[in-house]
Structure formats: structure tokens, C-alpha cells
Structure 1
Amino acid sequence: MKILYGVQATGNGHIARSRTLAKALQQYPEIKIQWLFSGRPKENLFGMELFGQFWWREGMTIVHSEGRLKSFTTLAQLKIRRFIKDVRELPLNEFDLVISDYEPVTAWAAKMRKKPSVGIGHQYAFLYPIPMPRFNWLFHTVLRIFAPTNKSLGLHWHHFGNPILPPIVPPQPKPENDTANYILVYLPFEHPTPMLEELSRIERQFVVYGVPENLPTAENIEIKAPSTEGFQRDLANARAVICNSGFELLAEALSLGKPILSRPLAYQFEQEANAKALAQLRLAKIVSSINANSIRSWLKNHPPPLRIQWPDVAQAIAAWIADGCRKNPSELARGLWNQVIPRPTEGAAPAYQNATD
């Protein structure tokens, strides 16, 4: 089986998820994969060795500034003619299946040429009634048509009574230092200078990713360069996590049982929906602003964190793909949620419990 696998590279979470699934798919030598990435300049991609000679297209991306999505700027910078050209010229004849991790070029190329396609990713969970902001019908509509596929496997921290799968989380390293007392900060959508100034006012140590390394910092702050292995190691050793409301990092933090303080990117539908789900499930503290006061309040009052043990979702999906995607996604989802510890209770949107059932 030959697969064209497209990945939306605007966020590191999409790449991290695809990296985990790529390793699982390597167990099936009959499957040959050509990877395609879009949404980020090719020179800004890092840690891509696992994907071999991947293809790159410009695709579509979002523009943000100081923690807010810039809707009109995002629309203005879209190169629609280039996108249409890439969709029309994408070679699909040699492939048996197209998989899209919310990547629009591959998804629309498959749709236009009626090629079998599967969507795998968090965004496909929004095809179902899950927690999301009200009165954002336009963003919800765009989210649904951005990368359409014939079949889809949506991923979320809870099923909310729908055939949604648990997150794909890579194996996490064990903590190396029980005495580490720093907080991991990943806020790439915030204005870095005032954010670092707020952190400098708190008598705690911080390890910060996602900001320029040459910025001046206080003694309690260490800025680190992008690194897949380094980030996972620092996440495992951290006492807590401060981040925006992107899906994949939060899934990893929940698997490690870290206290979480999260601020969604304003006017970004997916992140606002994620924040709503986190609050409803009582899995993190959600704030509208990351500053010294909100951090101090969270450190003083956050409840005991909940560690969620996710099953090997990547392996289950790889086996599903190798079997020709024949099993009903509802059956696949049900089997995986039965392995989650603590198991989510049944119902539309209940909170997780601190003990297994």
C-alpha cells in the first residue's frame, strides 16, 4: 500500500503526532509512505529525519500577534492561486490512500480526484458535538472544510459520547531529577518581552521554549532553543506547565500528571474550544491573561493534578490502516477508551474522576 500523508506544520503538535504514528507504521513494511508538510517555511522545520525525503508545499497558515489571531491579516496573506495550483498539480496516481493530519493540499487534492482519504487529528473531533465556543459559526465552518476527507479519526482528551479516539501521545521519558523545581513555559503566541518580565517577578525557576534565545532574561529564567528530545526531557522533569491551549502538548502534560495553567490564543476557535473542554473536565486552570498575578494565584490554589494513562493509540491506528481502514471508527474508539486510566465516565461531557471505575 502506498500512502501520501499530509501534515499541517503550523504547529509542532501536528508534527509530533505524525512522528509517533510514523514509528508505529514502520512495523508494516508493506506500507510505503510519502510525507508532505505545509503551513510553515521549509527552512523552519526541524527534527525531520524520520520523514525521509518529504515533500513541501506552502499550504495555508495563520497570522497571530501578542496572543491574538489576526483574522483579516490571515485572510490577506493567503495565496489562493498558489494553493489551487498545488492542489491540481499534486501527483496522486501512484498512491492508494491519502491521509491528512489537517493538511489542506493533500485533503483537497484527494477530494477533487475522488481518491480514498482519511483525516487523523484533533481538528476532526470538531465534526461531532463537543465543547466549543458559541456564536463562532464562521470559524467552525472553516474548521470543518479546511481539510475534508472521506473518513476521519478525531482525537480528544475525552470522547464526549462520540466516536472520538484518545490522543496520540509519544512515550514520555521518565523524570531524571526528582529535585527539579522549575516550571516549563511554552507560550509561542505571546509577546515575549512582557511575558518574560512577568515571569521575572515570580520567585520560581522557569524554563522557556518558543521565544527568541537572544532576549535578555532574569536569573530565574532559562530560554532554550527548539529541540524535540530536549523539550520532552524538560517537560518530564518540570513541576508544572504554563502553555497556550494547543492540543498535543496538553495531552503530553496530562499523561505526565503535570499541573497546567493555560491561556487560549484569543479568537482562535480551536484553542478556545480546547480551553472550554479543559475547564469543563477540570483538567487545567484557564486564564485570559498570563501575568505574575494569575501565575501566583494558580500556584497557590491549583488542585492536585490528574495523571491520565493513554493507550498506544498510534499502534492501534497503524494496525487499522494496515488492515485497509475497514473497522468502524466507533469500534476502534470504544476499544481504546476502555484502556484509558482513569476511564472517563459515560455521558455527554462529565469530568474525569480521581479514581478508576
Structure 2
Amino acid sequence: MKIFYGVQGTGNGHITRARVMARELYAAGFEVDFQFSGRPADKYFDMEVFNGYRTKEGLTFNTRKGQVSYLKTALQAKPIQFVKDIASLDLGPYDLVISDFEPVTAWAGKRQKKKVLGIGHQYAFKHDIPRKGSDPLADQVMKHFAPADIGVGLHWHHFGQPILPPIIETPAFPERVQADKIVVYLPFEDPHDVTRYLCPFENFQFHVYSPEVVTSKYSHIEFKPLSREGFQRDLYDCSGIISNAGFELASESLQLGKKILAKPLHAQMEQISNAAALEQLGYGHAMFDLDSAVIEDWLHDPHAVRVTYPNVAKVLVQWLREGMPEIQKDFVESVWNDVEVLQVRR
């Protein structure tokens, strides 16, 4: 089977999930071509696994100081280029189109009457799961941004719905953790604001990953450039993570038993809903603005949760090999039966 696989590249979570899927698809003998959209072509990094991927401009959301601006998003969109990208994508040689919430691929598949399989967290929102911060515009964006004939939604818990656990790496649990080490990933926030809110806590070491080049004057706050390898190394032995409420990073943190403080993007329904789900499940804490009091309480809270997820990518690739039969209740239950939730103290 020959697959065309489109991936939303605005954040790193979609790409992280695609890396896991790529390895399982290649191992199963599938021929896969990848396309990424949502950021400039020179801003992608650690992409070797995708074997000669292509990029398109696509659509992305404009953010400033931790908030989505739908007005600026609309003003900066290039609808003519978007339509041209859809029209120029020839999916004729492919047996299946997969979209991880990537709009050019999804709409090209729809236009060419190709079966489109959507895999990702966003496709879980067609089911009854925790949802906050919704409005008619957000609902329409979620529904029409990257439409799929079959949507496989992913979440940290099933909530009684036909959705699957996250697609993530399944590394060994760290034997030793540095109790004072905190990883910070707030790419949509002003780094100077981040520094101002972290600087009072001199008993902790903050490793801040940022898309901007920033020099810190504080010995306990170190800014680092975006790097998949470096980030994973720091995430592995830290005690907790402060981040926006993206799905994939929280999933990796839960798998490693890290405590989580999520700061969702304002006016971004998915992230606000993620923060609500983390709190509802008891998997993490949330703050809706940078807040020193909340950060301090969280830093001194030793409680964390470790959620061990199975290799969902391998399960899905086997499902593809079987011809994508209708997802039944017993199939979903069999996957969730392999999930284990443990309480951890740091």
C-alpha cells in the first residue's frame, strides 16, 4: 500500500506523533510520502526519519503573548495560495491519504475523492469529551480545518468514547530524577515574561526551550534552542514540565511520570479543553495566565501521575494492514486494557 501522509507543522506535537507512526509504517513495509505545512520550510528540525518530505505553506494560527488572534489569522492567511496548493497536489498514485490535521492533504483528498483517514487528537472532539472555551467559530474550525472520512481520535482517557490512547514513544521509566530540574516550553509566550515569572525560584533549575535566541542573566534559568534530542534528554530526568497545553507533550510527560503545569493558549479551544481534561483526570494542574503563586504551589507539590500507554502506532498500523475494519467497542477496550495509571511522588 502506498500512503500520502500530511502533518500539521505549526507545533511540534503533530510532528512528534508522525515520527512514531513513520517508524511503524516503514517497519510494516508501507511506502509513505510525507508532507508538512504550517511553518516556514527552514524552521523544521530533526526530520531525517521522514525520508525526503515535502512542505507547503498551509494554514496556521497567529499567536501573540499566549493568545490566538483569529483576526490576524484571517488577515495573514493566503487563501489563493492555499487553493493552489490543494489543486497542485496529485494524490492519484496513492492508495490511502492520512491527515494529522493537515489541511492541504485533507482537502486535496476530499477534492480527488480519495479516502482520507484522520489520525490525531483533534478528531477526538467529534465525541463527548471534556470541552471548554468553545464557540461557534472554534467549532467550525475544528470541523472543517482538515476533514476526514474516518477520524481516529486520541486522548489521555477514553471518557466512554471510541477513541484511542496517545501515539507516543514508549521509553523506559527513568531510574533517577533531578528533583529541582524543571523543563519549560512556552513558545507562544514572551520569553522575557517567562523569565520574570521564574526568576524568584532560585532553588530550581529551569531549562527553557524557546524558538527565539535568548540570553538569561540568571544562573538558574537557561534558555536552549529547539532540539528534539536535547529536549528529550532534559525531559527524561526532570521532575516536571511547565508548558502550553499541547496534547503530545503532555502525553510524553505522563508516560514518563512528570508533574505537569499547563498554560493553555487563550482563545484556543483545544488547549483550554486539554487543560480542563488534565485537571478533571487528576493528571496535572493548569494556570490560564502566568502566575507566580500558582507556579510556586506547583513547584513544591510532590505529586505526579505516570500513565503507561501501549504502542498505539503499532496497533493502528496492524489495523491498516487488516483493511481498516470498522472500529468496534471490543477493539477500543482491548487497547485501553493495556493502560496503567500510577501515582508518583517526587
Q: Report the TM range for the smaller structure's normalisation.
A: over 0.9
What residue number does 2:277 align with? 277
CA contact (8 A) 1:37 1:57 kept: yes
Instruction: Check the 8 A contact 2:38/2:57 in 1, yes or no.
Output: yes
Amino acid paired to 2:73 = T
Q: Pairwise mapping of residues 178-197 of structure 1 onto structure 2 (< 5 A)?
A: 178-179=177-178, 181-197=180-196
Letter of the 1:260 counterpart: I
The 1:308/1:75 distance shift into structure 2, 3 A limit, reads: same
Residue 15 of structure 1 aligns to a residue whose secondary structure is helix
Unmatched tracts of structure 1, length 5 or more: 343-352
Mapped pair 1:56 → 2:55: yes
Instruction: Please report how far the alpha carbon of residue 172 of structure 1 lies from its aligned counterpart in structure 2 after TM superposition.
Output: 2.8
Which residue type is aligned with residue 9 of structure 1?
Answer: G
TM-superposed CA distance for 1:46, in Å, is 0.5
Partner of 1:348: none
Q: Distance in 2 between matches of 1:142 and 1:174?
A: 37
RMSD of aligned residue pairs (Cα, Å): 1.7
Tell me if the contact between 2:100 and 2:119 (Cα under 8 Å) persists in the aligned partners: yes
CA distances 1:52-73 after superposition (whole Å, capped 9, x unpaired): 1112111000110111111100
What residue in structure 1 maps to residue 299 of structure 2?
A: 299
1:321: which partner in 2?
320
What letter corresponds to residue 310 of structure 2 in structure 1? Answer: P
**How has the CA–CA distance of structure 1 residues 311 and 135 changed in structure 2, closer, same or farther, with 3 Å as cutoff?**
closer
1:21 corresponds in structure 2 to 21
Q: How far did 1:325 drift?
A: 1.3
Contact 1:3/1:33 (8 A) holds in 2: yes
Aligned to 1:213: 213
C-alpha spacing 1:338/1:292, structure 2 compared with 1 (3 Å) = same
CA distance in 2, matches of 1:284, 1:174: 18
CA–CA separation in structure 2 for the residues paired with 1:208 and 1:324 = 44
Q: Aligned partner of 2:162: which letter?
A: P
CA distance in 2, matches of 1:97, 1:155: 20
| Cα distance in structure 1, aligned partners of 2:330 and 2:36 | 30
Report the alpha carbon displacement of residue 229 of structure 1 after superposing the two structures with TM: 1.6
Q: Is the 8 A contact 1:199 1:291 kept in 2?
A: no
| TM-score relative to the length of structure 1 | 0.92
Residues 184-263 of structure 1: pairs in structure 2 closer than 5 A = 184-203=183-202, 204-263=204-263
TM-score, normalising length from structure 2? 0.95
What amino acid is aligned across from residue 8 of structure 2 in structure 1? Q
CA pair 329-41 structure 1, distance change in 2 beyond 3 A: farther
Q: Does the 8 Å CA contact 1:173/1:232 hold for their aligned counterparts? A: no
Q: Does 1:32 align with 2:31?
A: yes
Determine if contact 2:216/2:222 at 8 Å carries over to the other structure.
Answer: no
Q: Indicate if the aligned counterparts of 1:195 and 1:291 stay in contact, CA closer than 8 A.
A: no
Change over 3 Å in CA distance of 1:211–1:45 after alignment to 2? closer
Deviation at 1:331, TM superposition (A): 4.1
Task: String of CA shifts for 1:56-106, please: whole Å, max 9, x gaps.
Answer: 111000110111111100011111111111112211110010000000011
1:175 CA displacement: 3.4
Hey, what's the Cα distance between the residues in 2 that align with 1:121 and 1:135?
Answer: 19
* 3-state secondary structure, aligned to 2:81: helix
Unaligned runs of 5+ in 2: none
Change (3 A) 1:290 1:135: closer
How far is 1:246 from its partner? 0.3
Hey, what's the Cα distance between the residues in 2 that align with 1:225 and 1:53?
24
**SS of aligned partner of 1:273:** helix
Distance change in 2, residues 1:76/1:257 (3 Å):
same
Q: Decide whether aligned partners of structure 1 residues 237 and 145 sit closer, same or farther in structure 2, where only a CA change above 3 A counts.
A: same
**Mean alpha-carbon deviation: is it higher for 266-275 or for 210-219?**
210-219
Q: Which runs of 4+ in 1 moved over 6 A?
A: none
Residue equivalent to 1:350 = none
Asked whether the 8 Å contact 1:184–1:207 carries over to 2, the reply is yes
Distance in 1 (CA, whole Å) between partners of 2:302 and 2:135 is: 31
Aligned residue number for residue 83 of structure 2: 84
Shift of 1:20: 0.6
Cα distance in structure 1, aligned partners of 2:270 and 2:146 = 14
Partner residue of 2:268? 268
8 Å CA contact retained: 1:124, 1:152: yes
Query: Which residue pairs with 1:289 in the alignment?
Result: 289
Contact 1:172 1:232 in 2 (8 A): no
Deviation, 1:316, is 0.4
Contact map agreement 1:173 1:233 (CA 8 A) in 2: no
Q: Residue 345 of structure 1 aligns with which residue?
A: none
Shift of 1:17: 0.3
Query: In structure 2, do the counterparts of structure 1 residues 179 and 354 end up closer, same or farther at CA, with 3 Å as the change threshold?
Result: closer
The answer to whether the 8 A contact 1:320-1:327 is kept is no
Structure 1 pair 135/51, CA: closer, same or farther in 2 (3 Å)?
Answer: closer
Task: State which drifts further: 50-59 or 322-331.
Answer: 322-331
Q: Could you tell me how far 1:125 is from its partner in structure 2?
A: 0.3
Task: Give 1:240 shift.
Answer: 1.0
Identical-pair percentage: 43
Higher strand residue share = 2
Q: Shift in Å at residue 135 of structure 1? A: 5.0
Q: 1:173–1:236: 8 Å Cα contact kept in structure 2?
A: no
Q: Is the 8 A contact 2:174 2:256 kept in 1?
A: no
Aligned letter for 2:253? A
Cα deviation, residue 259, structure 1: 1.1
